[in-house]
A and B are shown apart, each in its own frame.
Chain A
Amino acid sequence: MKILVAVKRVIDPYVKIRVKTDNTGVETQNIKMSMNPFDEIAVEEAVRLKEKNDAHEIIAVSIGPDASQETLRHALALGADRAILVRIERHLCSLNVAKILQKIVEKEQPQLVLMGKQSIDGDNNQTPQMLAALLDWPQATFASNLTVQEKTIEVTREIDGGLETLAMPLPAVVSTDLRLNEPRYASLPNIMKAKRKTLDIIECDALGLTLKEHIQIISTMPPPSRSGGVKVSSVSELINKLKFEAKVL
């Protein structure tokens, strides 16, 4: 089985972000960037499927500026076999990302597409579902367990009330939740090896897609700040405050 894994370069999850003073977005200059944590889980799952001989090839794909090559090299160091960068400078909505991925899927013909359930910058949680819709493939979102049989997969999903298990035929799109696995670290030899793996760069314009603008970003603002409160010295003072000051008890 061939697996396609989509990865995104985002601001590192441990960075405290700053909204630009002109409210056009958040500051990304000279800020530490990483692979979106959910995508790391998707790569790890693909590598594990390969180690179990459920998969024979893993292709990592990213859409974005030149710098996204770094993210793809990381995916290669973690165990992906080759990588594709679809180069584009401008910001894309999830639907346009899904349309680009659809082109790559049609070209590469994977049986499984693994993606993170959401990117931690836009927090949209849309692209896997949209890709599945465009391909008319079944979808399994928020996966916390995945078993591959011959022509089907069984996926346990994290839902609000607990867990749900679905079985679906391949090809399919699966989006990963945090508890699917614990991603490994890339070892130095693997990082060195990754430098020699194939990374193809495709210009987005060469895909022959007409990408319509669906969403216009008007502004990005900092959230209303929460003023720090007071420290109380005892349990009885706390109960008192909750009852008579905040009136929530």
Chain B
Amino acid sequence: MSTLVIVEHNNESMHSATRNTLSAAMELKQDVILLVAGYQCQAVAEEAAAIAGVHAVWLIDNIVFEHQLAETMAELITSIANSFTAILAPASTFGKNLLPRVAARLDVAQVSDVSRIIDKDTFEHPIYAGNAIETVKVLDAIKILTIRTTAFDAITESQSSCCIERIDKSIQESSTRFVKHELSRSERPDLGSAKIVVSGGRGLQSAEKFKLIEELADALGAAVGASRAAVDAGFVPNDYQVGQTGKIVAPSLYIAVGISGAVQHLAGMKDSKVIVAINKDEDAPILQIATYGLVGDLFELVPELIEQLKVN
């Protein structure tokens, strides 16, 4: 039997989260097959086939899958599920949207946000905003798992490409229609996989002043994140949000500026290797978990930090 990993992509390139998911799949010690479903996505299949350890890539290239809607994707995956004992996808909005639909179709449970694989049917995952770790045993024959990508190292090694098998399934078009995308364009690294993340909170006071965070991020080659307060106040778009309901990050360095450190925010970043907090409130909860805390006015400290980083 083998493990199936659903490749997240935009028809042009693979999302890096797939490499972390693959790493989790390898721990199940079976052949790993990657599924690329999309439209005019041959390049994605080739990229996937060249990752070390991949046994085969199954490619279905059909206009039905152009936007990878949950309805059609779930039908496709359900139809091939019998060949697998585990089906994995990253715990991104893509994976979260899709896999529970597959699980219900197969009448099996799903484990969300798996952070550790103990054996082929026992898994750990965080609950209560990361304030508890639950170990569960799945009793169903097929394990459906979404993977917390920050808990598994990305596989970056390559291999001479494995075979790409085209599969042909007639999947009915969904009654759901894609209308449009509004994607945030950014030159900065992707928040989910960046090595350094600089996040701003309510302390930044306005969208105008939030630019200071972006300047600091640029000085460090970092991604920009935000607390819910900063998003709700309209300083930055929603997809910048780090936390229980936003993105989960675990960079080498996380710099929290003007963020108090509410439970919901900590859920998204407390597995970062080094945490720096810049806050004027000495009693802010963030300072209790920060590796290095700097107490003071961020509007003085951050420009000074940028200055010194530039000099160095």
The residues of A with any CB-CB pair to B shorter than 8 Å are 11, 13-14, 16-17, 19, 26, 93-95, 98, 117-118, 120-134, 138-142, 144, 154, 157-169, 177-179, 213-223, 226, 228-232, 234-236, 238-239, 241-242, 246, 248-249
Q: Are A168 and B176 in contact (CB under 8 A)?
A: yes
Q: Mark B287-312, 1 if CB is under 8 A from A, else 0.
A: 11111111100000100110011001
Q: Are A134 and B179 in contact (CB under 8 A)?
A: no
Known contacts A125-B100, A214-B138; A162/B181 CB under 8 A? yes
Known contacts A95-B109, A177-B245; A220/B176 CB under 8 A? no
Interface Cβ pair total, 8 Å cutoff: 240
Q: Are A123 and B128 in contact (CB under 8 A)?
A: yes
Chain B nearest CB, measured from A35 CB (Å):
16
- Asked if B130 is an interface residue, CB under 8 A from chain A, the answer is yes
Q: Choose, from B27-35, B47-55, B67-75, B161-169, the stretch at the interface.
A: B67-75
Q: Select which of B100, B133, B137 is within 8 A of A216 by beta carbon.
A: B137
Residues of B near A138 (CB, < 8 A) are 71, 174-176
**Nearest B residue (CB) for A222:** B132
List 16 contacting pairs A-B, 8 Å CB cutoff, sorted by A.
Answer: A13-B264, A16-B131, A123-B128, A124-B110, A125-B112, A158-B239, A162-B181, A162-B183, A162-B239, A166-B177, A215-B139, A220-B127, A222-B131, A230-B291, A239-B312, A242-B292
Residues of B near A219 (CB, < 8 A) are 134-135
Known contacts A166-B178, A228-B289, A248-B273; A26/B245 CB under 8 A? no
C-alpha gap A164/B69 in the complex (Å): 11
- Asked if B60 is an interface residue, CB under 8 A from chain A, the answer is no
- Asked if B238 is an interface residue, CB under 8 A from chain A, the answer is yes
Q: Are A215 and B247 in contact (CB under 8 A)?
A: no
C-alpha gap A94/B103 in the complex (Å): 10
Chain A nearest CB, measured from B293 CB (Å):
5
C-alpha gap A219/B137 in the complex (Å): 10
C-alpha gap A246/B254 in the complex (Å): 12
19 more contacts with CB within 8 A, not counting A124-B112, A222-B131, are A13-B263, A17-B131, A121-B128, A132-B101, A138-B71, A160-B94, A160-B192, A162-B184, A164-B180, A166-B69, A213-B139, A214-B109, A216-B137, A217-B135, A218-B136, A226-B270, A229-B292, A229-B293, A231-B287
Q: Select which of A121, A236, A246 is within 8 A of B308 by beta carbon.
A: A236
Known contacts A13-B264, A133-B101; A238/B292 CB under 8 A? yes
C-alpha gap A112/B197 in the complex (Å): 39
Q: Are B140 and A214 in contact (CB under 8 A)?
A: yes
Chain A nearest CB, measured from B91 CB (Å):
8
Q: Are B136 and A217 in contact (CB under 8 A)?
A: yes
